[in-house]
Amino acid sequence: MSEKYIVRSSAVAARELGGEMVIMSAADSTIFSLSEVATRIWQAADGRTPLSEIVERRVCAEFDVPLDAAYRDAEAFVEELSSHGILRVSDQPLTDAEPRAPEAP
């Protein structure tokens, strides 16, 4: 399995509401509502942490789900958001990823 690195797009508006993230794409005003698990992945998408590590430390550590199933679901989630330009995906760390401030409450 080749490693994947993800980073949030800067062309979105995002707010956490009741433990779930709501994201609006600036490109087409599409709105996404993320589950609690997807929110954890979104929050950890810094471009430098491998997706496998995010899944293991942020998803499996907090939710009762096997690693292989969680990783498959995370890959599908990442692919969906990247197809809308909300996440960027690379097989190498995204060194141009700027540190991001925490999401607004």
Q: What are phi and psi of 7, to 5 degrees?
A: -140, 145
Question: ∠ CA(103), CA(68), CA(41), 5° rounding?
Answer: 5
Packed helices 36-44 and 67-83: angle between N→C axes, nearest 10 degrees: 70
What CATH number should be reported for the domain whose range is 5-88?
3.90.930.60
- Per-residue pLDDT tens over the stretch 19-74: 789 999 888 888 999 999 999 999 999 999 999 999 999 999 999 999 999 999 99
What does the domain layout of the chain look like in residue ranges? Answer: 5-88
Q: Do residues 54 and 74 lie in contact, with contact meaning Cβ atoms separated by under 8 Å?
A: yes
Q: What is the secondary structure of 36-55 as a DSSP string?
A: HHHHHHHHH-EEEEEHHHHI
- Per-residue pLDDT tens over the stretch 79-98: 999 998 899 999 999 976 55
